[in-house]
Amino acid sequence: MLAPARSFADTRASCAELPPPPVAPVDPKAAARHGIAYKAMPREVVGVDVESLITVNSAADVASKRAGLIAYVWKSPRLPDGSPRVEHGVSAPPLAGLSSAARIDALIVPLKYEMTSRVFHVLARRPNGRLALYHNGHNEPAATMLRTVDGLLGRGYSVLVFAMPFMHWNAQPIADPAVPGKSVTITSHDALVRWESPSFSALTFFLEPVAVALNYAIATYRPSSVQMIGLSGGGWTTTVYAAIDPRITRSYPAAGSLPFHLRPASLNVTSSVGDWEQRRDTLPGFYGIAEYLDLYVMAAAERRRRQLQVLNRFDPCCFSGVGHRDYAAVVSHRTGVIGQGSWDVLEDATHDEHTISPYALSVILHDLDVHRDGL
């Protein structure tokens, strides 16, 4: 259960005790390596009415679109209620070296087409009663994952660590949808179009592990709040899952998406188009219910919910530049109009890597401290 809300006086006193949020200048060397396109608004935003692109206008719209997305993914009116198989005290080589981990459990989530998803549950040495989810991306190296998870553990958060389907420790074959008894190897999520049908959505491979692992963690440990962080493809998962499951209190998608009207303006056009799961042309039914601008609002509009989108200005992979300034204030305003949550963007210009930088992590951890009780 979530902790009870505190009074305004308690809130003011608590915030006064905290240091101000971290700030950092633009890295001059990174800026010098990039042209004006990384520093000025793109032409594609001229004449675009962002307010009209957001179709979520009320709490009723949030509920309706959330129900529509859940029905699309699971062909059911509700999120999955299953539980994983749990292996306690496992060795997890991908997470070797975490200094603040007390124990690592493995949660094995069964999926259709003979698939499973392995989720690591890392328990903190000094738990604070809160839960964090970290979702890795497609092919990112371990450094960002370890830095972020260790930072959360050091604050007392126990952490569920996810990998995308067919990636990292979830690399595995899948049963062929057309040939019984045959297994095939997936090297790109674009191949999943073969599994999509009116009776099944391959989006469950991405989203069901989060729902099922979260079911277990909440039932077993009853955390006072749940926060989710993800990088790249994991940032996409964080964006989508936070929109459909209000159990996520705060979410921090990093380098995970841009609204469709800004994709052509991206300075990394090919990689910013996204894989099968991220595109309107491949999933018109899903994104016809809610586009990214709607998903941002849905992740934050309710009371005590918050989303901070992290975008790297000089990212060599995805969603770089400053085009997000086109929609940031509009999404923030719409979120506030609908409910009592909050939404914002962190534009990180301290580096030119595809990562959650030390600076961005410091902002996320500060944000968690400030909003730890839904203030």
pLDDT reported for residue 341: 92
pLDDT at 347 over 90: yes
Domain spans in the chain, listed from the N-terminal domain onward: 24-370
Cα–Cα distance for residue pair 174/169, rounded to 1 Å: 15
- 369 or 228, which is more confident? 228
Other beta carbons within 10 Å of 126: 10
How far, in Å, CA of 258 to CA of 33, rounded? 23
pLDDT above 70 for 241? yes
> What does the pLDDT average to over 251-262?
96
> Which CATH fold topology does 24-370 show?
Rossmann fold (3.40.50)
The number of residues in the chain equals 375
Q: What percent of the chain has pLDDT over 70?
A: 93
Q: How far apart are CA 150 and CA 371, in angstroms?
A: 20
Q: What is the pLDDT of residue 3?
A: 39
Mean pLDDT over each residue of the chain, to the nearest integer: 92
Residue 4 in this model has a pLDDT that exceeds 70: no
> 19-44, pLDDT tens digit by residue?
888 999 999 999 999 999 999 999 98
What's the pTM? 0.93
Q: Which of 360, 203, 208, 173 is nearest to 277 (CA)?
A: 203
Give residue 9's pLDDT band: very low, low, confident or very high (50, 70, 90). very low
* Per-residue H/E/C for the chain: CCCCCCCHHHHHHHHHHCCCCCCCCCCHHHHHCCCHHHCCCCHHHCCCCHHHHCCCCCHHHHHHHHHHHHHHHHCCCCCCCCCCEEECCCCCHHHCCCCCEEEEEEEEEECCCCCEEEEEEEEECCCCCCEEEEECCCCCCHHHHHHHHHHHHHCCCEEEEECCCCCHHHCCCEECCCCCCCEECCCCHHHHHHCCECCECCCHHHHHHHHHHHHHHHHHHCCCCEEEEEECHHHHHHHHHHHHCCCCCEEEEECCCCCHHHHHHCCCHHHHHCCHHHCCCCCHHHHHHCCHHHHHHHCCCCCCCEEEEEEECCCCCCCCCCHHHHCHHHHHHHHHHHCCCEEEEEEECCCCCCCCCHHHHHHHHHHHHHCCCCC
**Radius of gyration of the chain from its Cα atoms, rounded to whole angstroms:** 20
pLDDT higher than 70, residue 269: no
Q: Is 174 exposed, middle or buried (0-12, 13-18, 19+ CB in 10 A)?
A: buried
Given a cut of 60, whether residue 85 has pLDDT beyond it is yes
